[in-house]
Structure 1
C-alpha cells in the first residue's frame, strides 16, 4: 500500500509545510527544561506536519456572531492568510492546496499540538482526503472578546497527520479490575513503590545535576527488565519533496 501524502498546491499558490518540531516555547521556559522529560509530550509534539502562516497578521473579535465581528490588520492585505468566514468568532485559514492520501486514509487536521495560544483555540477535524478533490479549512475559535490575537509569519497554524477510520473501529474495549491481571498489578505496585521512594529522596537531597531529578523509567522504555522493542524516543518524519 502506498504511504504517499500529496500536497497539490493551487495555481500560483504555495504552502509552507514541514515536519512538526518537538520544541515549544513554554517547555523551554520550564525549570531545567523539565517539560521535555515527558516523552509522551515530545512524541505528540512531532506527530505530524505543520503548515505555516505565509505572512503575519493580527485580529480582534468583538464578541458578535456576524462575520464582521472580526477586525484584521494584515502584513499583506492583498493575500490575507486568515479571514472571518463562518462568523460566531471563528477564524478561518484557507489551505491553498488539495491534500490527497491513499485509499482508506483520512487526514486529521488540528492546531499545533501542545502549543496553546492566548485568547483563541484550534478546532480539529478529520477529512476523507482519499477521495476529496477540494480544499478544506483550518479553523480557530476566538475565546476572549476585544483581545488582539497575533499570528507571526511562519508560525504554524495547522497540524496534519494520517489516520485510518476503519482501524479505530476495529478496536474493542473493556473495563475490569487490575486485580484480574496479577502480573500487571505486581508491575504497577513495584513501579509505584519505586516512584514514591525516588520522590521521597528528592525531598531530602537536591542533586546539582538537573537530570538526576528525573527517574527516566518511561523515557528508557523499561522499568524492571529489557527495553521494550517497540519503544520510541523520537519520530523522524519525511521532509516534503518539491516537484
Structure 2
C-alpha cells in the first residue's frame, strides 16, 4: 500500500518515520521508560512532520486572533504559510503543507507526536478521510493557559498514523468475568504469581532479581513456561519507510 504525499509548496516540512527517543525518557536513571514497549511502539507507529524553523508563540488569554503573537527565530517571507492564529481563543494552527491520499477505507489520524510532552500547549487530534478529501488539513494546538511556548527547528508538530477507521464501528464491547475465559484466567494467575514473587525478591535485595532488573516477557514476546506460548506476530520494534519520490 502507498501513502501518497503531495507537497503544496516547493519545500514542504520534512516528513520522517516516528522516532523512538524522548527527552524526558532519556532523563530517567538507566533510561527506564524505554523498557515500556507500549511507549516505544506508540512513538514509532506513524510519521512525524517537522518544524522547518524555530519560533515562539505567546497567548495573552484573550479570545481574538490578535491575542496570539508568533515570532520566528529568523525572518520568514510568509510566516502564515506555516503557522498562524486562525481559529482564535488560544488555538495555534500549523500547516503540514501536504495533501495526503490513502487507500479506500483508510484515513489519517493527525495528532501531536506520542509522548512528546510540551508545557503550556496541547495538540488537538483529528481523523481525516484522506481516501477522498481533495484538499489538505491543518494541525491545531490549543494553549492550556496564557503564556509563551516554543517549537524548535526539527521538532515534530504533527504525527500522522493511517487507520482503517470504518471497521472500528464493527466492534462490540462486551464485559465478561475473567473466570469465564479459563485459559486467559490461568495465564493471568500464572503471570501474577511470577510478578509478585519477582517484586518481593527485588525489594528484598535478591542479587538475581537485581541483576535481572525487570521482567522482559512482553518486550521479548515470551510467556513464562506455565502460561503457554506467545504468538509469533509479536513485534518490539517498528520499522516504517521513509518517503521516496514517485
Q: Give the TM-score, by structure 1 length.
A: 0.94
User: C-alpha displacement at 1:209, in angstroms?
Assistant: 9.6
Instruction: Report how far residue 176 of structure 1 moved.
Output: 1.0
Q: Distance in 2 between matches of 1:137 and 1:105?
A: 18
* Equivalent residue, structure 1, for 2:43: 45
Cross-structure match for 1:95: 96
Mapping 1:144-155, distance limit 5 Å: 144-145=145-146, 147-155=147-155
Question: What does 1:61-210 align with in structure 2 at a 5 Å threshold?
Answer: 61-75=59-73, 76-80=75-79, 81-145=82-146, 147-205=147-205
Judge which range, 30-39 or 224-233, deviates more: 224-233
Aligned partner of 2:17 in structure 1 is 19
The residue number in structure 2 matching 1:32 is 30
In 2 relative to 1, CA 155–207 (structure 1 residues): closer, same or farther, beyond 3 Å?
A: farther
Q: Give, in whole Å, the separation in 2 of the partners of 1:151 and 1:185.
A: 47
Structure 1 residue ranges (4+ consecutive) displaced by more than 6 angstroms after TM superposition? 208-211
Report the aligned-residue RMSD: 1.7
Deviation at 1:13, TM superposition (A): 3.6
Distance 1:53 1:208, change over 3 A: farther
User: Which string of whole-angstrom CA distances, capped at 9 and with x for unpartnered residues, describes residues 203-232 of structure 1?
Assistant: 121759977211111112122243421110
| Distance change (3 Å), C-alpha of 1:228 and 1:100 | same
The residue that corresponds to 2:56 in the other structure is 58
The residue number in structure 2 matching 1:5 is 3
Among candidates 210, 226, 229, match of residue 226 of structure 1? 229
Q: Structure 1 residues 109 and 66 mapped into 2: Cα distance closer, same or farther (>3 Å)? A: same
Contact 2:202 2:209 in 1 (8 A): no
- TM-score scaled by structure 2? 0.92
Residue pair 2:12, 2:96 contacting (<8 A) in 1 also: no
Q: Is the CA contact 2:63–2:90 (under 8 Å) kept in the aligned structure 1?
A: yes
Structure 1 Cα separation of the partners of residues 240 and 109 of structure 2? 16
Partner of 2:117: helix, strand, or coil?
Answer: coil
State the number of aligned residues: 240
Aligned counterparts of 2:210 and 2:40: Cα–Cα separation in 1: 19
Residue 245 of structure 2 is matched in structure 1 by 242
- Runs of 5+ in structure 1 lacking a partner? none
